[in-house]
Amino acid sequence: MDAAQRKIGRRKSLARRLSEDKKVQAAAAVVLPVLLGILIFGLWQGGVLQTIFRTDSFTLPAPTRIASLFRDNFGKVVTNARDTVTVALAGLIIGSLLGYGAAILASFFPNMGKGGLSIVGAFASIPVVALAPVMNNWTRDVSTEASSRSMVAKILVVMLIAAADMGLNAYRGLTELKPYAKDLMATYAAPRRMVFLKLQLPNSVPYIFTALKVSVPASIMTAIVSEYFAEYITGVGRQIRENIVLAQYATAWVYITAACIIGLLAYVILMIVQAAVMKRYHF
Amino acid sequence: MNAAEYTRNDVPDEIVIRDLGVTFQDNKGEDVQAITGVNLNIKKGEFVSLLGPSGCGKTTLLRCVADLQEPTDGDIHVEGMTPKEVRLQHKFGFVFQSPVLFDWRTVKKNVELPLEMMYQTKQQRSERADEMLEMVGLTNFANHFPNQLSGGMQQRVNIARALGIRPDILLMDEPFSALDEFTKEKLHEDLLRIWRKTNKTILFVTHNIQEAVFLSDRVCVLSPHPGRLSAVVDIDLPRPRTLDMKETPAFNQLVLKVRNSFEGGSFS
C-alpha cells in the first residue's frame, strides 16, 4: 500500500472532523469573537491592558467605572446623543436625496453627468477637519441663534459626504443595466419615463444600500468630527473633546462608548432594512 | 433560389427587405460593412431562419427589422410600414439571447411588463400573463422570482413575455444558444407548437444548422466579410415536425444542402 492510499484509508482526526462540520463552523463564528471580547474586557478590567499600553487607569478607566459614570450621566448622554443623531440623520437624508437626484440628472445627460459626479466626489474627499470651519464661516448669517446656525453648518458637512457617496453609487445603479434591458424596453416603445420607472429605478435599489453601508457610519463619524469645530457646544463628539480638554478622561470614555453604541445601532437598523427590502424584491 | 418563387405565392409578403446595408465605424474610424445588399421577402405566418457564423451580420439584420438599429442603405417595410411605425404599434415581439428578466419582479410580473407599457388594466394584464404562462407550461412558477428558475425556464418566460403583447411578428435572436441539448430540443417542440397555435411570422437568428433546418420553412444562409445573403434553402419537411425527423435521410440531406450553400462550402 503506497502513501496516497494509506492517506485515503485513514480516518480523519477528531479536530479535523470538527473543523469541517458546518454547525461547528457556525457556532465558532459567534463564540470565538465573543471569547476574544470577554478576554479583552477581562484584561482591561484587571488593569493588564493599561500596563500593555503603558498608560494608567486615569487615562483608561476600567469598564465598570465607565459604566457607572454612564448610568450617572445618562440624561446628559441622551441629550448629546440626540443632537448628534439629529445632525447625522438630517445630513444623511437630505444628502442622499440630493445625491440621488444628481444621479438621475447625470443619467439623463450622461456626457456631462459622469464628469459632474466625479467633481462632487472630489469635493467630498476634502477632510471634514477642513470642511467644518469653512461651513461655520458660510453659515454665520443663517440664524441669530448659535445653536441653530451651528446645527446647519454641521448638517451641511454631513450632507456633502452623503450626497457624494449616494450620487456616485446611484449613478451606477441607474446606468449599469443588464445587457439588452434597454433594447427590450425599446421594443415595447417604452417612453423615457417608463424606462426610468420600470427599469432604472428598481435596478438602482441594491446600489442605494451599497451607498448607505458607507454613508450611514460616515454620517455619524462626520457629525462627531464636525461637532469638534462647531460654534455651539453640544453632541457626543464635542463632549469627548471637552472632557479630554478638562482631563476628565472617564467622562470622555462615556461619550466614546455612546458614539460606539450610536454607530452600531445605526448599522444594525440599516442591515435589518436592507434584509427586508432585498428579501421582498429578491435582489 | 429566389424568395419570390416560394411556393406559398398567394400569401402576402409581411416583411420586405430591399438592398439592405449596414456600415459601422470601427475604433480607428474606418468603415466596416456589417451587411450589404440583402434582399428578402418574408410571408405572413412563415418561419424563417437567418443562419450564419458569427460576424455575418445576422443579428444586425434582425435588429434593423426591429428598429433597434438604423440601416445605412436600403429599406425595410413591414405590412407596408416602416419598422419604427410597427415598433410603436407593439407589433414586434423580440426574444433576446439572454432572458433579460427583471430580478425584482416575479415571473408573472415580468410577463406583465410590456402590457404595463400598453396601459392595460390590472385585470387584463393578469389574465393575459396567466394565459401566456400556461402556454409555456410555467403556471406553477408564476410567483417565483427569475433567479429561482433554470436557464430553460427563464427563456420560456422570455418567450411568454414576447408573445403577451400579441405581436404579429416574433423576432428571435439566438434564443436557445445558451441552453443544453435536452432543454433546447424541448423548447424547439414548444416553439413550433406555439407558432402553429398563434400563427405568428417568426424570424429566427441562429448559428446552429440542425436547429435552423428543424424549425424553419426557409433557411437564409448568410456569409461573413461582408455579411451578405448567400443562399435561401426551402425546407420542405412535413409539419408538424417531430424530433424523430432528425434521424431521417431527408433531414440530413437538407442539413448537408444548407452546409454546402455557405460560400466556400464549409461552415468555418
Query: Is there a contact between A99 and A165 (Cβ–Cβ < 8 Å)?
Result: yes
Residues A34 and A88 in one domain: no
What's the CA gap between A183 and A167, in Å, rounded? 25
Q: Which amino acid makes up residue A190?
A: A
Distance CA A46, CA A54 (A): 14
Q: In chain A, which residue's Cα lies nearest the Cα of B165?
A: A188
Cell of A13: 482526526
Tell whether A197 lies on the interface with B, counting CB pairs under 8 A.
no
> Are the C-beta atoms of residues B35 and B20 closer than 8 Å to each other?
yes
Residue A57 belongs to some domain of the structure:
no
Closest residue in B to A204 (Cα–Cα): B104
Q: What is the mean pLDDT of residues A204-228?
A: 95
Same domain, yes or no: A179 and A230? yes
CATH 3.40.50.300 for the B7-91+169-179+189-262 domain, yes or no: yes
**Quick one: A271 and A140 in the same domain?**
yes
Which range marks the domain in which residue A161 is found?
Answer: 63-281
Inter-chain residue contact B92 with A187, CB threshold 8 Å: yes
* CA nearest to B104 within chain A: A281
pLDDT band at A280 (very low <50, low <70, confident <90, very high): confident
For residue A64, pLDDT beyond 80: yes
Best residue in B59, B84, B104 for a mutation probing chain A (most A CBs within 10 Å): B104
pLDDT of residue B264: 56
Strand segments (E) across chain B: 13-25, 31-43, 47-51, 73-78, 92-95, 169-173, 201-206, 218-223, 228-234
Q: Who among A186, A198, A281 is closest to B68 (CB)?
A: A186
**Same domain, yes or no, for A76 and A206?**
yes
Tell me, what's the pLDDT at B131?
A: 92
Q: Please report the pLDDT score of residue A10 as a whole number.
A: 60
From chain A, pick out residues whose CB is under 8 angstroms from the CB of B118: 188
Question: How far apart are the C-alpha atoms of A151 and A91, rounded to whole Å?
Answer: 10
- Give the model's pLDDT for residue B2: 46
Interchain pair B103, A282: CB under 8 A: yes
State the average pLDDT over residues A131-159.
Answer: 89
Comparing A20 with A104, which gets the higher pLDDT? A104
For residue B215, give the nearest of B51, B53, B47 by alpha carbon.
B47
My answer on whether A46 and A143 are in the same domain is no
Nearest CA in chain A to B67: A187
Instruction: Find the range with the poorest average confidence among A64-73, A115-124, A225-234.
Output: A115-124
pLDDT at position B179: 87
Q: Which residues of B touch A203 (CB under 8 A)?
A: 102, 104
Look at residue A17 and tell me if it is in a domain: yes
- Write out chain A residues lying below 8 Å of B146, CB-based: 282
Q: Which whole number is the average pLDDT over A65-74? A: 95
Beta-carbon separation of A194 and B117 below 8 A: yes
Place of cell 448659535: A146
Q: Does A48 lie in the same domain as A77?
A: no
Measured between alpha carbons, how far is A220 from B65 in angstroms, rounded to an integer? 55
A118 and A194 in a single domain? The answer is: yes
Q: Residue B146: closest CA among chain A residues belongs to which residue?
A: A282
Dihedral sign, Cα of residue A33, residue A38, residue A41, residue A43: negative
Does A145 lie in the same domain as A8?
A: no
Q: DSSP letter at B166? A: -
How many folded domains does chain A comprise?
Answer: 2
Those residues of chain B that have pLDDT short of 50 are 1-6, 265-268
Numbered ranges of CATH 3.40.50.300 in chain B: 7-91+169-179+189-262
Claim to verify: residue A95 and residue A44 sit in the same structural domain: no
Per-residue pLDDT, A184: 95
CB contact under 8 A, B98 and A180: yes
A190 touches chain B (CB under 8 A): yes
Confidence of residue A282 (pLDDT cuts 50, 70, 90): low
Mean pLDDT of A46-65: 91
pLDDT of B224 reads 86
Look-up of cell digits 470538527: A18
**Cα angle at B223 between B35 and B26, to 5 degrees?**
40
| pLDDT at A185 (0 to 100) | 94
Asked if A171 and A43 sit in the same domain, the reply is no
In a domain, A33, yes or no: yes
Separation of alpha carbons B190 and B167, rounded Å: 18
Is A220 among the domain residues? yes
CA distance A188 to chain B (A): 6
Tell me, yes or no, whether A266 and A209 share the same domain: yes
Tell me, rounded to whole angstroms, the distance of Cα A127 from its chain centroid. Answer: 16
Of B100, B103, B165, the CB nearest to A283: B103
What interhelical angle do A249-281 and A201-229 show, nearest 10?
A: 170
- Candidates A180, A182, A188, A277: best to mutate against B (most CBs of B within 10 A) is A188
The string of pLDDT tens digits covering residues A235-277 is 999 999 999 999 999 999 999 999 999 999 999 999 999 999 8
Q: Are residue A37 and residue A106 in the same domain, yes or no?
A: no
**R_g over Cα of chain A:** 25
DSSP summary character for residue A178 = P
Instruction: CATH number of the domain at A239, please.
Output: 1.10.3720.10
How many percent of chain A have pLDDT more than 90? Answer: 68
In the numeric block, which cell numbers belong to residue B148?
A: 429561482
The answer on pLDDT for A5 being more than 70 is no
Residue with cell 416583411: B15
pLDDT class of A115 with cuts at 50, 70, 90: confident
**Mean pLDDT (whole number) for A83-96:** 97
